[in-house]
Amino acid sequence: MIELKNISKIYKSGPLVGGAETEALKNISFSIKDGEFVAITGPSGSGKSTLMHIIGCLDTPSDGKYFLDQKDISELSDNELADIRREKIGFVFQAFNLLPRATVLRNVSLPLVYAGVKKAERESRAKEALLAAAFPESFWQHRSNQLSGGMMQRVAIARALVNNPSLILADEPTGNLDTKTGEIILATFQKLYSGEGRTIILITHESYVAEHAGRIISIKDGEVVSDSENSNRRIVSSAISQ
Domain of 129: which CATH number? 3.40.50.300
CA 80, CA 87: separation in Å to the nearest integer? 11
Asked whether residue 238 is domain-assigned, the answer is no
8 Å CB contact between 209 and 234 = no
Residue 240 pLDDT exceeds 70: no
| pLDDT tens digits, 88-107 | 999 998 888 899 999 999 99
Domains in the chain, number: 1
Is residue 240 in some structural domain?
A: no
Residue 237 falls within a domain, yes or no? Answer: no
- The three-point CA angle 81-83-89 to 5° equals 85
Average pLDDT over residues 177-198: 84
pLDDT for 239 equals: 44
Q: Is 198 part of a structural domain of the chain?
A: yes
Is residue 6's pLDDT more than 90?
A: yes
Domain-located, residue 241: no
Cross-strand pairs, 71: 68
- Residue 234 falls inside a structural domain: no
pLDDT at 142: 96
Q: On the CB side of 21, how many CA atoms lie within 13 Å of its CA? A: 10
User: What letters, b where the CB count within 10 A reaches 16 and e where it falls short, cover 84-121?
Assistant: bbeebbbbbbbebebeeeebbbbbbbbbbeeeebeeee
Per-residue pLDDT reduced to its tens digit, 118-130: 999 999 999 999 9
pLDDT of residue 191: 84
The reported pTM is 0.88
Query: Which pLDDT tens digit goes with each residue over 199-226?
Result: 999 999 999 999 999 999 999 999 999 9
Report how far residue 199's alpha carbon sits from residue 80's, in angstroms, rounded to the nearest whole number: 21
Residue 180 has pLDDT above 50, yes or no: yes
What is the pLDDT, as a whole number, of residue 33?
Answer: 94
Output 115 or 48, whichever has higher pLDDT: 48
**To the nearest whole percent, how much of the chain has pLDDT over 90?**
64
CB atoms within 10 A of CB 196: 12
Q: Which domain holds residue 95?
A: 2-229
